[in-house]
Amino acid sequence: MSILDKVFIFCHSLLVFANSKKSVRALGNYRENMSFNALSRAVKSEDSEIRILALESLSRLGLKATIPLFVTALKDRNRLVSIAASNVLIRTGKEAVPVLIEDLKHEEFEQRAQIIEILGKIGDTNAIPALTPHIKEEEGVVRLATALALARIGDKGAISLILQGIKDNRIYFSFSPGGLEDDLKSMDLFKKLFAAYSLAMSNHQEAKRILLKLLDTNYGWTRCFIIRMFADIGALEDIPRIAVMIKDEDIWVRRAAVEVLGAIGDDSAIPILITAANDSDSWVRSSAQVSLDKIKARKVESQ
């Protein structure tokens, strides 16, 4: 590295103290200790936009030492910062898995659910032994996040384990002798949910229709769980049904709906998300903005 580059890094590191956005962005181009140290400080800035920029710049450094900073940022008081940290960890992939697994031992249930969801999206089968015990947790949101993560990873043994009989005080999964097609007709909600999801992953249209129908259920957590499935199985044709859920009385359902619309939506979802950007819940509002940005970014990439 030239003397000029070192001077450049030094100057920008100093400017980080003044919350210079330009300097925070620039330091992501230099894989040096000075860059890392300055960006580590920027992650603690009072300015949420600076924190987001610092996370993105840290991700460009490609250093394992940055991963714990992203995991810590998942708990940020600003939802947009938390989302940015989550996206970086998913992009980081398998390298982030050991740190995320270790953090599962220490966090409150909401953070555990978030970490489990990230592990599912990374899709590393090495995470399965650490994920499986959480299917028995007392908190329903953690159990559901775990089940969906295991299904996303696609390990047949893990899915079979869920379906063959993990029993706790509220949930029992079983696998019928006739297979998923039999479970699809079951009166047991959980059998039907997992059968429909598994079959819908294989483009089984009737299974998808059953899941959409189950969105009429009275249980908010069930609606939330089903909507999140559509991040994996959804298509443009499903946007109108998911869009209805942004007016749901349950904030978790509305949060899930705006996030899934960002994952599967096109221009037709933009007016819906603009409406959601004025929701009474701050998480829904910030997630709606993130989803709008995702759709716009995909449109630019396709041009």
Highest mean pLDDT among 14-23, 64-73, 210-219: 64-73
pLDDT of residue 238: 93
Distance CA 136, CA 199 (A): 24
User: Does position 178 have pLDDT exceeding 60, yes or no?
Assistant: no
Q: What are all long-range contacts of 63-72, with beta carbons under 8 Å and residues at least 24 apart?
A: 63/31, 63/36, 64/95, 65/36, 66/36, 67/92, 67/95, 67/96, 67/99, 68/99, 69/40, 69/43, 70/96, 71/96, 71/99, 71/100, 71/103, 71/115, 72/43
The CATH architecture of the domain made up of 1-103 is Alpha Horseshoe (1.25)
CB 231 within 8 A of CB 264: yes
Among 49-58, 132-141, 288-297, the minimum mean pLDDT is found in 132-141
* Range 32-61 average pLDDT: 83
pLDDT of residue 173: 42
In the chain, what are the domain boundaries? Answer: 1-103, 215-303
Mean pLDDT of the chain: 79
Higher pLDDT: 131 or 220? It is 131
pLDDT of residue 164: 45
- Domain 215-303 in CATH 3.30.420.310? The answer is no
Among 56-60, 94-98, 160-164, 245-249, the minimum mean pLDDT is found in 160-164
pLDDT of residue 180: 65
pLDDT of residue 38: 80
CB 76 within 8 A of CB 55: no
pLDDT tens for 116-129 read 988 988 888 899 88
Distance CA 292, CA 88 (A): 18
Distance CA 100, CA 122 (A): 11
pLDDT tens for 224-281 read 878 888 888 889 999 999 999 999 998 888 988 999 999 999 999 999 999 999 999 8
Among 7-11, 62-66, 268-272, 296-300, the minimum mean pLDDT is found in 7-11
Burial class (CB in 10 A: 0-12, 13-18, 19+), 275: middle
Helix axes 220-233, 140-153, angle to 10 degrees: 20
pLDDT tier for residue 172 given thresholds of 50, 70 and 90 = very low
pLDDT tier for residue 165 given thresholds of 50, 70 and 90 = very low
* Range 152-171 average pLDDT: 50
| Whole-structure pTM value | 0.60
